[in-house]
Structure 1
Amino acid sequence: MCRMTQFPQAMDFPPAAADTPPGTKRQIVAWSAWDWGGAAFNSVMTTFIFTALYLTGKDFGGADHATAVLAFALSISGFAIALLAPVAGQRTDHSGRRKLWLGINTLIVALLTGACFFVQPHESYLLLGCMLIAAGHVFFEIADVNYNAMLLQISTKHTIGKISGLGWASGYLGGIVALLFVYFALIKPEEGIFGITSADGMTYRAVAVFSALWIIIFSIPVMLAIPESEPDPNEPHVGFFQSYKELFWTIVLLWKSERHTVYFLISSAIFRDGLAAIFTFGAVLAVGSFGFKTGDVLIFAIAGNVVAAVGALSAGFFDDKFGPKAVIVTSLCGLLVSGSAVLFLHGKTAFWVFGLILCLFVGPAQSSARTFMGRLAPEGQEGELFGLYATTGRAVSFLAPQLFGLCIVLFGAQRWGIIGILVVLLAGLLLLLPVKAPPHGVAA
């Protein structure tokens, strides 16, 4: 028999998070440390260093060819995430092994990251490198489902915004520290502080080992400080394929009883794709349309992460006071205004000013989208709902890149690709406006 869970008619904050004491400072810091460690995979490996400066370079058949292969591999990983994430979250909700699977998936991410050491600078190793990065994305997203669900174990309706913002800020700051270390200790010097040279791509391969260790070290605190989630004694064990049948009924019941949750999943999927595109194409635009050099891009990346961290941290207080919807709407409006300024203004100064303003609003939108989902999730189904949250995000992950490229083709210049991103952000905002905001606590 399928589990016919009746979702609460009122969008009350999950009782487990509302009625139990908040997490201790030690637990909150330990939880945030996982985001700090994950930045080594997101910022160092997949955004700024390993893939951007090494895997898509001339040694792997040229930028166009290598980027195409990487994009294809990542598209497959996106499909895998959409297929697996909600069921993975659902099964950990039932079994009460949320922390266990967070640890297992994080360890797999670290091992795949470390295995990138074996990607030598030759075209014959391109597929291996792309497969390792793509597989790392799959396991990182599944781990992130359990990590996000764990937020409800350490927060209350009065503190969820602050704690979520702290986690996002920790991720941004961890990325800054990791980027600074690998750049100045391994990449920039003729011979790194460990005696590693650039011969045979060894500096970038050493970055992979560093990132793997970084991930493992900063995932240890959450494993020690946060208690394991409790299994639901009323839920029978179901097989893997039976889980998809349960997932189908979950979506049906959501549509019948909590339709605004479905509306939020759709709207957030769209505007989160726009947020991701800002970071994905920001460096591309800086170099191609505003004349930034490699060093300029790294400096801007660090400054942007600092600003985004400040935004995410400060927005947590507004989230708890005014609710996540107000923060998201304000942030999206700020992104539309500053993005339009980047589109029509010229010169490095304009990009620095309005590009950093963009970063300031990205962090709050990301953080409050997570707390919005957390406030909607019924007790005992946090992982399943965050799995759907991950899946819907992946389902439209093609949208902003496609519109970005289409606008370049239509208008004949790279900078006009910004229109595509703005259209996605505007669509997400318009779809969010009619969504009923979840209840939120007012901090004492």
Structure 2
Amino acid sequence: MPEQFIAEESRSIGHAGRRELIAWAFYDFANSGYTTVVQTTLFNTYFVGVVAGGVGGVSPGLATLLWSLSVGFANFVVMFSAPVIGAIADIKACKKRFLLWSSIGCIVSTALLAQVGPGDYKLGMVLVTVSVIMFAYGENLIAAFLPELVPEEQMGRLSGYGWGLGYVGGLLTLLLCLGYLHWAMQQGMGEAEAVPVTLLITAVTFALTAAPTFIWLRERARPLPEVSGERILAASFGRLRHTFREARRFRDLIRFLMTLAVYQSGVSTVIVLAAVYAQQVMGFDTQSLIVLIMVINVTAAVGALICGHLQDRIGSVPTLAITLAIWIAALLAAYFAEERSQMWIVGNMIGIAMGASQAVGRALVSKFSPAERAGEFLGLWGLVNRLSVIVGPLSYGLINYWSGGNHRLSLLSTLAFFALGLLLLSKVDEARGRAAANNFLACGDS
């Protein structure tokens, strides 16, 4: 994280210095190994090809659907529970405590995935579901700290640095796994013996690199003294009802959340199933697949850093429009690709678009959110993200199943999400949305 940026932050807010900003961003570094190894690269293809498919005795189309159902059910749970957890975290000022427990849950369930072998697809589905739920809670809670750390005009940069550092973390974890797989193959091990160990590597890396967050990140919120005991849950639902009733005051937030739900369905599909597409359609083996994902992580980090600065200069909405256009071009190129070499170009385009769109989306929701209710509003952001992970991969999985494993046809549904998202984005007024959040605080609403 550049020194000039850190110095600016310390002067402008006084209470979030270099160490704490790095500690916040380092959580993105820590949890990205989980998404890279479990959801994007290794375990998803291992589940489809080995655990459920092939030796597991399940057809390829059904194996892909089972994976999509596991991820979809987990996100269905998170979709309804995350806003409530966010509201409770605001009321009791316990975002950091909840973040710790969700991280432990994700780390433990990831480590237990090492016990999943050929034919154990039911156990694999249960553990994947738990790990996805715990990961999603942590993602929402760490995002809720963002409005406390920097002023809104610098949220884009900090969010971009976090996402960029996250892709570096995912790349590091993937390199460790690649190194182990290379050694294991030299020892004559097969996939069923080697891949499970990468889950242990991922869990340990997550635990070690998340430590700075829990050591240095501060909980600045103060609990509401009049709410305690059994009243907490009732109060959290009350705040959520209040937020939905007053949605008209945050119409640009609501419009953007609708936009996010659509285009993020496409992003989620790519994250969860791109490796399956590269393996099943383009013939990538495991090691080539890992290298491709490494390349995507590097370009995603670059995309997040560049667009983090760009959105603070030209605005989040124009920046996001550019990234959605890149997404559309990338998926069109993937649809028409016939040679493996073409997928390397597609991978770089996806990386830039992925890093940029995720960094911009988190920052824009933070700009539209009153700081005193960040946990609740970022919980809504999490709700939309989880909905997208249900709709996107499940639509891909169903089309793939009904078409007898036609991945190119399934890809068209993913392309449609980005095209519709770009259309909906044109209705979002960034300046009006920021003004609504500022006016909410000025009026002293709760």
Q: Equivalent residue for 2:217?
A: 226
Q: Which residue of 2 aligns with 1:358?
A: 350
- In structure 1, the residue matched to 2:5 is none
Give the one of 184, 199, 205 matched to 1:214.
Answer: 205
Give the distance between the partners of 1:403 and 1:79, measured in 2 at CA: 14
Question: Deviations 1:399-425 (Å, cap 9, x if unpaired)?
Answer: 334554677668995324332112111
Structure 1 residue 79 corresponds to structure 2 residue 76? yes
Partner of 1:47: 40
Q: CA deviation at 1:369?
A: 0.3
SS at match of 2:372: coil
> Which of residues 155, 158, 171 in structure 2 aligns to 1:160?
155
SS in 2 for 1:262: helix
Question: 2: CA distance between counterparts of 1:235 and 1:82?
Answer: 28
Partner of 1:384: 376
Contact 2:392–2:414 at 8 Å: present in 1 too? yes
Q: Secondary structure of 2:284's partner? A: coil
Alignment equivalent of 1:301, drawn from 287, 290, 293: 293
| Aligned CA distance change for structure 1 residues 319 and 251 (closer, same or farther; 3 Å) | same
Matched, 1:58 2:54: yes
SS in 2 for 1:270: helix
Q: TM-score, normalised by structure 2?
A: 0.85
Q: Summarize deviations over 1:276-310 as a string: whole Å, max 9, x none.
A: 22233322332343343333222111111111111
- Following the alignment from structure 1 to structure 2, what is the Cα–Cα distance between the partners of residues 99 and 412? 43
CA distance in 2, matches of 1:117, 1:83: 29
Match of 2:175 among 173, 180, 195: 180
Of the structure 1 ranges 178-187 and 337-346, higher mean CA displacement relative to structure 2 is found in: 337-346
Match of 2:262 in 1: 270
Report the equivalent of 1:420. Answer: 413
The offset of 1:338, in angstroms, is 3.0
Shift of 1:435: 0.9
1:320 corresponds to:
312
How many Å separate the matches in 1 of 2:204 and 2:263?
A: 33
> Aligned to 1:148, which of 132, 143, 146?
143
- Write the distance in 2 (CA, Å) between the matches of 1:186 and 1:278: 24
**Number of aligned residue pairs:** 419
Q: Determine which of 15, 18, 22 is the counterpart of 1:29.
A: 22
Superposed displacement of residue 158, structure 1: 3.2
Alpha-carbon separation, structure 2, partners of 1:412 and 1:239 = 48
Label 1:76 to 1:241 Cα distance change in 2 as closer, same or farther (>3 A): farther
Per-residue CA deviations over 1:46-92 (Å, capped at 9, x if unaligned) read 32123322544534334635444433332221221011100001110
Indicate conservation of the 8 Å contact 1:22/1:156, yes or no.
no
1:398–1:78 CA distance, 2 compared to 1 (3 A)? closer
**Within the alignment, does 1:437 sit opposite 2:434 as a pair?**
no
Structure 2: which 5+ runs fail to align? 1-8, 436-446
Which has a greater percent of helix? Answer: 2
**Match of residue 369 from structure 1:** 361
Contact 2:334/2:346 (<8 A) preserved: yes
Q: What is residue 6 of structure 2 aligned with on the other side? A: none
What amino acid does structure 1 have at the position aligned with 2:211? I
User: Aligned residue for 2:392?
Assistant: 400
Report if the CA contact (8 A) 1:86-1:390 is conserved: yes
1:292 is paired with a residue whose SS is: coil
Which of 31, 41, 55 is 1:38 aligned to? 31
Change (3 A) 1:110 1:368: same
Is the CA contact (8 Å cut-off) linking 2:157 and 2:305 kept in structure 1? yes
Query: Aligned equivalents of 2:403 and 2:177: distance in 1?
Result: 39
Contact 2:87–2:373 (Cα < 8 Å) also in 1: yes
